[in-house]
Chain A
Amino acid sequence: MTRLNRIGIALAAVVGLLVLTAGPALADNSMSVAAPGEAGIGDIVPVLVSVTEDGSPVTGVVVVLRRNATFAGVSGYVEIARATTSDEGAADLSYVQRGAAQTSELRVEVLDFDVAQLDFAVTSVGEAEQIFEPEVGLNLPGLGGWMLIALIGGLWTIILSTVLRLIVVSTDGDESSTGVPPRRRLLPFVLSGMVGLIAIVLVTVLVRNPATHANLDGPGESDRVPHSHLAEITPFNGPGLDEAYVELTGDALVDGARAFFGLGCASCHGLDAESGVVGGDIDSVVRDGFDEFLSAVRKGPEGMPKYTADAFSEEELIAIHTYLATVDGE
């Protein structure tokens, strides 16, 4: 092969490459998307796409519908539907609108065809009907604390009745008796009193049934009585892993987050402070300002422990409040 030939082939290849890459751009490719701007939650939303090249429909290309999603801190577009264009260059796509009062950020792309992707959004409207997130647990009517109270109460009433009958035993037969010791009536009364007292204690425990776990409530309970000997080796400094952030960084957001998770707030109130299994939603308290927040922590409303200054310093609480205010804003 001559040198000229080789140059010719190289030139042809370059030109070919240029044509290949620039060619489609030169062509008048376009895509149009028809979708409603709003949709009810749970509705099947139609997305109609038509693809044209120089004004004529493009047949047999694959159109993909993606939706923006966040999972475990990673965001991106997830494919939710795909279709091939018809002879008319049209692709019928659809998806189910999910999420209460949210906007679905959608994107349509055509595979192996040079046309710009198209982003659009569909807003959810109407009342949020729970269609995919059922409530946790099963609530059977009648099955609960009151049933247990009735069971325990009934059982102990019967037990008490058997002991009360002993009073009858102890008083009967007087007329025939000679020198029956007077002490004999003591025991039935003591026994009945004991049974009655235990019954009342058990029922009271059930009726009180606090919203929080044991040994957290009560004034000063969070400064727990140190274990006589263990306290010398590992002093108890309040709940959680407080040694992890003994040194404050000075950045209220960082310190607040560390304290919220490290001191154990999150274990009751949930990772995003929007109420957990035990603790309630604290958004409103946070919004009411630091003073309200401080007094709530110190007083311990609704079965929450009273956290004294030994458990949480005011400095720490300022940091936690600052952090929660940003969480709350979302």
Chain B
Amino acid sequence: MDSMTHWHERSEVEAPTSWRERLEDRTLEPVRTTSTGYKVLISVLFVIAAWGVYAWMFQLRDGLYVTGMRDRISWGLYISTFVFFIGISHAGTLISAILRVSHAGWRAPITRIAEFITVVALVGGASFIIIDMGRPERLLNVFLFGRWQSPIMWDVLAITTYIMSSVIYLYLPMIPDLALFRDRLAEAPGQLNALRHRLYSTLAVGWRGSPGQHRALGKSIGVMMVLIIPIAVSVHTVVSWIFAMTLRPGWNSSVFGIFFVAGAIFSGVATLVIILVILRKVYHLEEYITEKHFVYLGYFIASFALIMIYFNVTEYLTTGFKLEEGEEFLFRQLFIEEFAWMYWFYLIGGLIIPGLIILYKRTRTVYGIFVAAILVDLAMYVERYFIVVTGLRVPLLSYEPASYNPTWVEWSILASGVAGFALLIALFIKVFPIMAVWEIAEEHEARQFATDPQALPAARSVPPEVSQ
């Protein structure tokens, strides 16, 4: 990446500006200071997460009997949560990799957070698979006796590959920033700072910004940003195949792969918006994460809402037109009976209303998009849930359709999973640079060398095309 060399040669091109110092201070601020509110938040999240572990102990002791899952409906909240988390993990890949590949300059301040959502969500998603197992100690058998003929094994391969490459992809572009932290925090006295210095020295792998280092790192980032896109697409395709490889009404679909990938990106971008709004507010990042970012992400959400509506039409119209016996049952429960409120909330509240909020100019504000993103995330969780449960509920033999009600154990573990997700993000911003300083600086310089001296122009003055 030749553009990285700009940063290396920065000191020769221009003296460290106050802009630059401000950026570094803003990025360092979460690491330097800890507010009371933060401590309270961490405590609350920790208590919720611990409560989930307590509930899980019940499940380990008594087996899956303590959940609402039985013989006929054998997947419930856990698998829905797994699919949801794997879905939001696509935020990082899409925002970071695709925008980096396409040299979209505006991505710079938000890539780091997006990549971190990916890693945390993947860890969360993978742990829900283990939670769903009645005998988690048998997980090792997947590696001892796994057969590639099984779609479960495809999931193991794809998700393992994705977790590892996401961690690497998060870590590689962070190295220059970690070196910055190492240098900036070295000056401060105290035991904590000594510890930090050791940590950042290890993580920064002796980064000095030499041309050789730039070349090597640039190459690695270049390879990973391309590689991670097909890996991410394959992950959610394979997750959908867990369902689609089964002969069941509602699952037996050829569009499931891309339907799930689209849903994953949709919910991933929404989650990114939610976390960005919170971090921007708390850490005063308004200068870097501007309204423009939210508008662009909002356009993403709106266009994916349209794509999701389209998928709903193709999926349900093609099967509904033929209406086989099992499909008829599925349609009845999904559209007019037990699950109707979920489906219509999903379609109207999660696809149409967020789309309208974003497309309508007066509501296309940071908070409008924030509300839309919350709706999208809720709806996408509900969608995962009804896909799992309604599909299993269709009786394929002559028996009464079962019902599924999650028990307190499942609700507790779900709450714990969400809290754990937030907890890991909160801890991350305490340790790692929340913004890619070198990328923002590089982007800033690129703009300075261009005509506009203003760092990042406001949204409405810039055409929505991906510039640079």
Residues of A that sit less than 8 Å from B by CB? 145, 148, 152, 155-156, 158-159, 161-163, 165-166, 168-173, 176-177, 180-181, 183-188, 191, 194-195, 198, 201-202, 205-206, 209-210, 212-218, 225, 227-230
Tell me which of B141, B161, B165, B202 contacts A215 (CB under 8 A): B141
User: Hey, which chain A residues are within 8 Å of B217, CB to CB?
Assistant: 165-166, 169
From B145, B217, B224, residue with most partner A Cβ within 10 Å: B145
The answer to whether B201 touches A181 (Cβ under 8 A) is yes
From A161, A181, A214, A215, residue with most partner B Cβ within 10 Å: A214
User: Hey, which chain B residues are within 8 Å of A228, CB to CB?
Assistant: 60-61
Tell me which of A180, A210, A214 contacts B206 (CB under 8 A): A180
Q: A165-B217, A172-B216 are in contact. Are A177 and B164 (CB under 8 A)?
A: no
Return 14 A-B CB contacts under 8 Å, by A number: A155-B231, A176-B208, A176-B210, A181-B201, A181-B202, A195-B164, A195-B168, A198-B164, A205-B143, A210-B145, A214-B141, A228-B61, A230-B62, A230-B65
Q: B223 at interface (Cβ–Cβ under 8 A)?
A: yes
The answer to whether A205 touches B146 (Cβ under 8 A) is yes
Residues of B that sit less than 8 Å from A by CB? 60-63, 65, 135, 137-138, 141-148, 153, 157, 160-161, 164-165, 168, 171-172, 175, 198, 201-210, 212-213, 216-217, 219-220, 223-224, 227, 231
CA–CA, A218 and B143, complex, Å: 14
CA–CA, A214 and B207, complex, Å: 46
The answer to whether B206 touches A184 (Cβ under 8 A) is yes
- Number of cross-chain contacts by CB at 8 Å: 137
Report the minimal beta-carbon distance from B387 to chain A, rounded to whole angstroms: 26
Tell me which of A148, A159, A183, A212 contacts B201 (CB under 8 A): A183
The answer to whether B147 touches A214 (Cβ under 8 A) is yes
User: Hey, which chain A residues are within 8 Å of B227, CB to CB?
Assistant: 155, 158-159
User: Hey, which chain B residues are within 8 Å of A171, CB to CB?
Assistant: 206
The secondary structure that dominates the B interface is helix
User: Hey, which chain B residues are within 8 Å of A214, CB to CB?
Assistant: 138, 141-142, 144-147
User: Hey, which chain A residues are within 8 Å of B60, CB to CB?
Assistant: 228
Report the minimal beta-carbon distance from A203 to chain B, rounded to whole angstroms: 10
Tell me which of A159, A198, A210, A227 contacts B135 (CB under 8 A): A227
User: Hey, which chain B residues are within 8 Å of A161, CB to CB?
Assistant: 223
| Given A172-B213, A177-B206, A230-B65; 20 other pairs, CB 8 A cutoff | A148-B157, A155-B161, A159-B227, A166-B205, A166-B216, A166-B217, A168-B213, A169-B213, A172-B212, A173-B210, A176-B208, A181-B202, A183-B201, A185-B206, A202-B160, A206-B146, A215-B145, A217-B145, A227-B63, A230-B63
